[in-house]
Amino acid sequence: MHPSLPSPREITVEFDGRTIAARQWGDPAGEPVLALHGWLDNCASFDQLAPLLSGLNLVAVDMAGHGRSYHRSRDANYNIWEEVEDVLGVTRALGWHDFSLLAHSRGAVASLLSAGAFPERVKRMALIDGLVPPPAEDHQAPEFLARAIAQRARYGARKPRPFDSFEDAVKARANGMFPLSDAAARRLVARGSVALADGGVSWSNDPRLLATSSVKLNRAQVQAFLERATMPVRLVLARDGIVEILERLPALLADRANFTIRELPGSHHLHMEGGAEAIAEWFGPFLRGEVD
């Protein structure tokens, strides 16, 4: 974080026997906004963007299995639609009847599912480089189920990867599936690792997050969620982000007047790097309800 920017408050949210760790930014009396990060990230994903969004009561959570939040039980999965129940549980515990969503990547998918299932609860969505999962073909269902069961068993028996030092973990995160700057990787690793007795570190994420979903949405189901998400939506696409998102989403949303798309320079994690100010300038008035 920039030294001149305000620091967040560390909080925990309890509901239904689950504990979600989070960072709360801004004015507790401001517009309520729940921030959801991407796959294998954590709430530090918003450390650069959140302080630039004034007038909000912004709570950025570590989603289940990530960061410092609870891990799902041994008989449970990390299917993307299960995040919807946690979104409702967190907002209920915070005393929010309706709220807006700020989300990145996998968190954006969870946001769309939440908004489609409970459109009366979500006022607006501000999304970054993500929206819907790639739709599956119906004939793939048996294959996906078999793969999910096998992967759940394999990853359930796996221990988190150890590193000799914090610096080694930072290098690994910076060179991951979506390359990150050193500063962005450090923020995520600081939140998403635990110290080992030998002086090294390991990931705090649940290895079962690596398993595929047991069932995936088909095209008709994806369209059904989109049709119910009628609230205003602003979507930032990263110019150097996930190619299939750039190619697929504009056509998918062509006839949806409530969606506004803006392409900005940067990679998939542009909100953690050079794109934070441009995103905040566009998202800020929107999330405060000053514009649609």
Rounded-to-integer distance, Cα 111 and Cα 83, Å: 9
Q: Does the CA dihedral 85-23-59-12 come out positive or negative?
A: positive
Nearest residue to 54 (alpha-carbon basis) of 284, 289, 290, 270: 284
Return the closest-CA partner of residue 56 out of 260, 286, 292: 286
Task: Give the separation between CA 146 and CA 20, rounded to whole angstroms.
Answer: 30
* 204 a catalytic residue: no
Q: Are 263 and 242 in contact (CB under 8 A)?
A: no
Residue 208 sits at the vertex; the CA angle it makes with 205 and 210, to the nearest 5 degrees, is: 90
Q: In angstroms, rounded to a whole number, what is the distance separating the alpha carbons of residues 108 and 245? A: 12
Contact 13, 94 (CB under 8 A): yes
In the chain, DSSP finds a helix count (H) and a strand count (E) of: 8, 11
How wide is the angle at C-alpha 244 spanned by C-alphas 222 and 239, nearest 5°? 120
Catalytic residue among 105, 111, 114, 267: 105
Cα–Cα dist 156/165, whole Å: 25
Point out the residues that are catalytic.
105
